[in-house]
Structure 1
């Protein structure tokens, strides 16, 4: 049996969007994590749900925009490789997304990163709604 909290069945991770869930670190800080499809084994990768250029969420509750195996920042359009987390264009060029360890076993995805505790599906619940990127010149998808 695989150790770690079960997050979701692999088939529930969208092909062209992300699957969002919330974890807690060792200091009880909540963080959002996204699961995305990747062509490399095991077929799913987990990344912190935040652009490295500015604190901009990729997935705001309806899936991160993706194109050709890359996660797109909705604020400036920087594109991050879904498998490596690396960015070679836009404002975030030269940076890499912080990864989160997962295990794929028997058709399910498990959180295997000892730095985090699984809390729930979806994002961090906030009092005020996040209607989109914190920019008046954001990119829409």
Structure 2
């Protein structure tokens, strides 16, 4: 492991519902990552998923709006596919039978740390090239 970087607190993720940050991957590309609370048997868990629907690379989290989370799942705003917050797996809609790519994190003493050796933390919030503020490119926008 190449070290760790403190991202935020579990309390912040739980209070905000989701939390977004940007990393640089091994291909030197900026990648947005979504932290979501995971209600499992242990409680207080947080998971990290790449902020992109597996169906059409649609962002799940949009600046100023956040991500729609319903019944333990992150909802794609374009087609409604639902990704389990704990496993990243989708069993419905156009993204069915796929799983969101994960980013390794750890939780210690209520703090969330980036521990994935394949990425480097850049910033809290969206990537700087995220200039599409018009929302999903569809005629049906989900608001939950």
TM-score after normalising by structure 1: 0.91
Note the C-alpha offset of 1:15: 4.9
The equivalences for 1:1-141 within 5 A come to 3-15=3-15, 17-40=17-40, 41=42, 43-61=45-63, 62-126=65-129, 128-141=131-144
With 30-39 and 3-12 compared, the bigger mean Cα shift is at 3-12
Note the C-alpha offset of 1:127: 6.9
Q: Residues 56-108 of structure 1, C-alpha deviation per residue, up to 9 Å, x if partnerless?
A: 00001132101111000000001010001111111111111101110001111
Aligned residues: 139
TM-score after normalising by structure 2: 0.89
Q: Residues 37-67 of structure 1, C-alpha deviation per residue, up to 9 Å, x if partnerless?
A: 0023461000000000011000011321011
Please identify runs of 4+ aligned residues in structure 1 that moved more than 4 A: none
Structure 1 residue runs of 5 or longer lacking an equivalent are none
More strand by share: 2
- RMSD over aligned CA atoms reads 1.6
Structure 2 residue runs of 5 or longer lacking an equivalent are none
- In structure 2, the residue corresponding to 1:14 is in which secondary structure? helix
